[in-house]
Amino acid sequence: FINVKLTDGSIVKMRSTWGKDGETLSLDIDPTAHPAWTGGGQRLLDQGGRVSKFKKKYEGLGF
């Protein structure tokens, strides 16, 4: 089992092929904070500039 740290700081133990027994995986987004599950009131953080890079690349297409 690994420990999965949710965005609210709580930790859940679950089976996974990721990591070794007892390691902790910290999530940037999870079902407790994702707009798809919370009604869309929150905005996703642009971690690593991925959204900005996408918008810049396709700015002429009117997205």
Task: For 18-56, write each residue's pLDDT tens digit.
Answer: 999 999 999 988 887 777 777 765 565 666 677 788 888
CA distances from 12 to 7, 25, 29, 35 (A): 11, 10, 14, 21
Q: ∠ at Cα 52 (50, 58), nearest 5°?
A: 100
pLDDT value at residue 4: 96
> What's the whole-model pTM score?
0.56
pLDDT value at residue 44: 59
Cβ-Cβ contacts under 8 Å for 44 (sequence gap 6 or more): 29, 34, 35, 51
Task: For 10-19, write each residue's pLDDT tens digit.
Answer: 999 999 999 9
pLDDT value at residue 26: 94
